[in-house]
Amino acid sequence: MAIAKTQGIILKYSNLGEADKILTILTRNNGKIKAIAKGSRKPKSSLLSASEVFVFSEFVLYRGTNFYHITQATVRETFYNLRKDLLRLSYATYFVELADAVSEEGIPSERLFMLLAKTLYYLSTGEIPTGLLHLAYQLKLMEISGFRPNLSRCVSCRGDKDFYPKFDAELGGVICRDCSETSSLFNPNAFKISQGTVEAFKFLLNTEISRVNTKKIDNTIFNEVDKILRAFIRIHLDKRFRSLEFLDGIKDSEL
60 near Zn ion, judged by CB under 5 A:
no
Three-state SS string across 98-127, please? Answer: HHHHHCCECCCCHHHHHHHHHHHHHHHHCC
CB atoms under 10 Å from CB of 122, counted, come to: 20
129 near Zn ion, judged by CB under 5 A:
no
Candidates 176, 178, 172, 118; CA nearest to 145 is 172
159 near Zn ion, judged by CB under 5 A:
yes
Q: Among 47, 53, 179, 247, which residue sits at the site for Zn ion (rule: CB under 5 A)?
A: 179
Q: Which range touches Zn ion (CB under 5 A), out of 52-60, 98-106, 178-186, 199-207?
A: 178-186
Closer residue to Zn ion, CB minimum distance, 83 or 153: 153
Q: Which range touches Zn ion (CB under 5 A), out of 176-184, 185-193, 212-220, 233-241?
A: 176-184
157 near Zn ion, judged by CB under 5 A:
yes
Closer residue to Zn ion, CB minimum distance, 92 or 154: 154
- Smallest distance from Zn ion to CB 231, Å: 19
User: How far separated are the first and last CA of the chain, in Å rounded?
Assistant: 55
* CA 188 to mean position of chain CA atoms: 25
- Smallest distance from Zn ion to CB 177, Å: 8
154 near Zn ion, judged by CB under 5 A:
yes
156 near Zn ion, judged by CB under 5 A:
yes
Q: Which range touches Zn ion (CB under 5 A), out of 135-143, 158-166, 214-222, 240-248?
A: 158-166
- The set of long-range contacts for 10-14, using a CB threshold of 8 Å and a minimum separation of 24, is 10/50, 10/51, 10/52, 10/53, 10/54, 10/55, 11/53, 11/96, 11/97, 11/99, 11/100, 12/53, 12/96, 12/100, 13/37, 13/51, 13/53
Residue ranges binding Zn ion (CB under 5 A): 154, 156-157, 159, 176, 179
